[in-house]
């Protein structure tokens, strides 16, 4: 097992909350993590029809079987359980008693907010970060190899090729989530929608155009996109709200959270093809922003990230608050530094004034150095937690 950085957060939260919930995409390692952190707790999965039937017919009896708590996997599959769980943890008043996992964040979160508010410590677990792979001695050999493989654990602890694993992942897991959450009859059309989303990763979301290209309604496109968000497949990156005297773009960006899945959906079947592919920049942007999100999630912090773009085309790829000031990050997939990369960062600094920290430029090369007031960081530096 590759150690997970989030394990420390899980342990910390278990000291202060009666319930700890871990949510993330299917196959991101949630079950492996909680069973490693809590080896003595009984484990039950509600994907098992028999266990789910026990919960639905006798929730009090089900919980009574676990006087010292338990790990309950895919807890969102039994919504009524949460109300009974509230009564149990309030009576016992023991910390870290129950551990819940779920792969549909909206379903799990809605049940927590309704019945367990204030009683749950929440952890978001995404596939492996560069830092986790590096710490385990499994740092990627090249940028193209890492973009192609991505971070899902089965692709790092089994002799599997992404070309073999991702088709099964999409059909087995994503389509099952779709069936559970929505009455989708044409799953081949949903796969087309998924691939059309991949072609737009890193772009402003135009839901009407996406729906038209897929031959579905705007409402259906919104529902399907919600499923992808709930399953931690995509994330909508919001625009930063301050305009610094400029008219702003107010549409979010559509981003995938794992490069391996994105690359497979784009039809790229070998790492070398990424070197000249038209979507290389979007895939690299997925890697960089995904790594920043992982770092926040793995330390138990909210992933409050934005991008900034005005109507004149001035843009910063990633923006976040850092000690009450704004940290701009420019993302460039090229392996050789180009002086023109400094232009956008310099324009941003002029707009933001004293609110702006010195810009970072994350690029596809290996070196790290300062250049004209900017910090230039090679992609491997994303494995450093302080980055």
Spelled out in words, what is the top-level CATH class assigned to the domain 130-285?
mainly alpha
- Show the beta-strand stretches assigned E in 69-146: 71-73, 98-102, 120-124
Q: How far is residue 83's CA from residue 112's CA, in Å, rounded to a whole number?
A: 9
Q: How far is residue 107's CA from residue 73's CA, in Å, rounded to a whole number?
A: 14
Are 112 and 188 in contact by the 8 Å Cβ rule? The answer is: no
Helix and strand totals (H; E) in the chain: 17, 14
Q: What is the pLDDT of residue 343?
A: 85
- Please name the residue that has the structure tokens 């989530």: 177
Are 376 and 363 in contact by the 8 Å Cβ rule? The answer is: yes
Q: How far is residue 210's CA from residue 221's CA, in Å, rounded to a whole number?
A: 7
Q: What is the pLDDT of residue 144?
A: 96
Q: What is the pLDDT of residue 133?
A: 96
Q: What is the pLDDT of residue 186?
A: 74
| CATH architecture group of domain 7-124 | 3-Layer(aba) Sandwich (3.40)
Domain ranges of the chain: 7-124, 130-285, 307-383
- Among 259, 232, 261, CA closest to 140: 259
Instruction: Give the CA diameter of the chain.
Output: 67
Q: What is the pLDDT of residue 243?
A: 66
Chain-centroid distance, C-alpha 3: 18
Q: What is the pLDDT of residue 363?
A: 96
Q: What is the pLDDT of residue 115?
A: 74
Per run of 10 residues, the mean pLDDT along the chain (length 387 residues) is: 95 96 93 96 94 93 94 89 91 94 73 78 95 94 96 94 93 73 75 94 95 92 89 93 73 96 96 92 96 96 92 88 88 92 83 86 93 91 73
First to last CA, the chain: 25
Asked if 7-124 and 130-285 have one fold, the answer is no
Are 151 and 129 in contact by the 8 Å Cβ rule? The answer is: yes
The dihedral sign for the CA sequence 45, 47, 51, 53: positive
Q: How many CB atoms lie within 10 A of CB 385?
A: 11
């Amino acid at each position: 097992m590759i150690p997970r950085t989030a394990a420390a957060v899980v342990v910390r939260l278990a000291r202060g909350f009666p319930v700890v919930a871990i949510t993330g995409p299917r196959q991101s390692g949630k079950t492996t993590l909680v069973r490693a952190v809590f080896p003595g707790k009984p484990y039950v999965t509600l994907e098992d029809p028999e266990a789910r039937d026990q919960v639905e017919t006798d929730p009090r009896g089900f919980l009574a079987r676990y006087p010292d708590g338990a790990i309950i996997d895919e807890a969102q599959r039994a919504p009524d359980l949460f109300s009974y769980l509230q009564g149990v943890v309030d009576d016992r008043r023991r910390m870290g008693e129950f551990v819940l996992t779920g792969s549909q964040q909206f379903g799990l979160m809605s049940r927590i907010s309704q019945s367990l508010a204030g009683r749950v410590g929440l952890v978001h677990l995404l596939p492996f970060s560069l830092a986790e792979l590096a710490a385990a001695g499994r740092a990627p050999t090249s940028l193209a190899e890492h973009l192609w493989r991505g971070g899902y654990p089965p692709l790092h602890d089994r002799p599997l090729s992404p070309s073999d694993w991702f088709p099964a992942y999409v059909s087995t897991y994503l389509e099952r989530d779709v069936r559970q959450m929505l009455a989708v009859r044409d799953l081949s059309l949903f796969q087309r929608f998924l691939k059309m989303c991949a072609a737009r990763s890193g772009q402003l979301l135009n839901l009407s155009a996406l729906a038209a290209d897929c031959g579905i309604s705007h409402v259906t496109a919104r529902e399907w996109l919600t499923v992808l968000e709930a399953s931690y497949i995509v994330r909508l990156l919001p625009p930063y709200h301050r305009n610094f005297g400029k008219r702003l773009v107010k549409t979010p960006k559509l981003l995938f959270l794992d490069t391996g899945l994105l690359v497979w959906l784009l039809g790229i079947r070998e790492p070398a093809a990424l070197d000249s592919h038209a979507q290389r920049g979007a895939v690299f942007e997925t890697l960089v922003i995904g790594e920043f999100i992982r770092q926040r999630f793995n330390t138990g912090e909210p992933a409050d990230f934005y991008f900034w773009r005005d109507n004149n085309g001035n843009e910063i790829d990633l923006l976040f608050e850092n000690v009450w000031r704004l940290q701009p990050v420019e993302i460039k997939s090229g392996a050789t530094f180009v002086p023109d990369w400094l232009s956008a960062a310099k324009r941003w600094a002029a707009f933001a004034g004293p609110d702006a920290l010195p810009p970072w430029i994350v690029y596809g090369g290996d070196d790290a150095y300062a250049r004209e007031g900017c910090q230039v960081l090679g992609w491997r530096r994303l494995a450093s937690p302080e980055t």
